[in-house]
Structure 1
Amino acid sequence: MSSTSSTTTTTGAAEGTRLTLEIWHPDCWGLQATEAVDAGLLVHTVHRTLDETIKGHFTAYADTTARLDEFVAFVDDSPLTYSTVELGQRPTGTAPDPGNVTRELFVEYDPEHSISDTLVSHGFIHDASVRVEAGAEHWPVFVAGGRAEVRDRLDTIRAETDAEISISSVAPAAADSAERFDRTDRLTPRQRDAFELACERNYYAWPRETSARELAAELGVSKTTLLEHLRTAEAKLLNPDGDMD
């Protein structure tokens, strides 16, 4: 899922729109794995092999090592994958890891079980790393064309792939895609849920309009767990290098 520069006019102004598509499609090992195990994936790059399979580079992440081990085992045992290779730790100096525990993977699988080629063939250009969580793929894409044309293209993709596709965010083409996507990708699903709920309920307002106890009750967790999720999310979002010191 390599990045592609956006279309520009002769004056340098970007044309088109940046979208985040939330996608489910049949027979996808990543969707099945993240639905079965409380863990997630970041999709960095994919390429076709000489054998016409796909090899992709992924970051798998979870809250605990045991949960991550369970996730990797599920992917490796899936009938939809050919091989799973662990690459070790992310090289120093790269973007911060998204979860408490992470692992770099190469996974080989059949292109028939990917929606990537279909999106590209209809003009949706990958704009940042794809995030897969809780049985849904979140695709940051750039697309040229008017709204009616974009809707028609999405309807065609749905019909061709039996996919469920919704638009979860829209931004102008000139928006900074790295800032929009990478910061929230540093959070685990539980951290993201806690932080977004706290923002929605004006927990960070002064005076506060809700309490940690009320937020915890709404999420169905203890107050201690809620505060730990918020503390970790705040540290990841506020520190540009992702350090937790």
Structure 2
Amino acid sequence: MIDLDIDMRQYDCPFIDTTDDVDIAFSAVQWQLDTDDEKLETRLIAQADSMGALDDGLRALREHPNMTDCYILSKRDNVAEIGTTIEQTNAMATIQDNGGYITGPFRIENGRERWHVGFDDDQDEDRALAELERHNDYSVEGRDQFGPTTLFDLLENSDSATALLEGCRSLTETERETFEVATARGYYETPRDTTLDDLADHFDVSKTAVSMNLRRGERKILKAALTALDQLDDTETF
């Protein structure tokens, strides 16, 4: 199986048009493509910077000409779970017609959409990408090719992968940025290429603040890794 990570801009997608006009983002939770009716039914999480922006975004989404149905399942502050039905877009039809399939949830923000698409062979992939170029703007950000053994391993250990992912998501923006800069500058190398003092100067905070941000992030990631290892051991024992 070939798995592509695609950064996509469709020109007939209501979600992309909405995130172009309003500061709102959508993350897919569940989706189903009805090829007979050429419609996509989706459940998504919509998140905006404020309640007002959320209302504006949902209003714009409902009024889009390619939107068939849009309804709120739940809503709290600046986040809502919504259900939608949209007309099949050119990109969806192209992927479907060339033997492709969605392999993971998609996210839409700032007028771009992140797709995870699978193909069974190189010819289907090449044909689909060539056709996508005619009516869409996209770039392939990542490409992986898995054999049956690797796919089985991924499926069997999906709980471990989820635990690690949730650990990464639990990092605050400050913790993540501190981690990234510290790693890029060689803080975790032996010997270290940078110090806490250097990092404090970079972020214009105290040495203590940098140390605390690193420690909090390390605890979260370590806890997630240990949880993943426990789940991995349980799977292997079973």
TM-score normalized by structure 1? 0.61
Gaps of 5+ in 1: 1-15, 91-99, 217-223
Is contact 2:100-2:125 (8 Å) kept?
Answer: no
Q: What is the aligned partner in structure 2 of residue 202 from structure 1? A: 183
Structure in which a larger fraction of residues adopt helix = 2
Is 1:74 aligned with 2:60? yes
User: Counterparts of 1:85-104 in structure 2 under 5 Å?
Assistant: 85-88=71-74, 101-104=78-81
Bigger RCO (CA 8 Å, 6+ sep): 1
Distance 2:177 2:94 in 1: 32
| Root-mean-square deviation over aligned CA pairs | 4.3
Query: Match for 1:107: what amino acid?
Result: T
Is contact 1:198-1:215 (8 Å) kept?
Answer: no
Distance 1:202 1:48 in 2: 45
Distance 1:212 1:65 in 2: 35
Q: Call closer, same or farther: CA 1:106–1:195 in 2, change over 3 Å.
A: same
Between the aligned residues of both structures, percent identity stands at 16
Is 1:58 aligned with 2:59? no
Q: How much does 1:153 deviate?
A: 2.9
Q: How much does 1:83 deviate?
A: 2.8
Q: What is the aligned partner in structure 1 of residue 230 from structure 2? A: none
Aligned length: 197
Q: What is the aligned partner in structure 2 of residue 132 from structure 1? A: 108
Distance 1:212 1:67 in 2: 35
Distance 1:119 1:89 in 2: 33
Q: How much does 1:211 deviate?
A: 3.6
Is contact 1:20-1:139 (8 Å) kept?
Answer: yes
TM-score normalized by structure 2? 0.62
Is contact 1:154-1:165 (8 Å) kept?
Answer: no
Report the structure number with the largest CA radius of gyration: 2
Gaps of 5+ in 2: 228-238
Q: Call closer, same or farther: CA 1:139–1:53 in 2, change over 3 Å.
A: closer
Q: What is the aligned partner in structure 1 of residue 143 from structure 2? A: 170
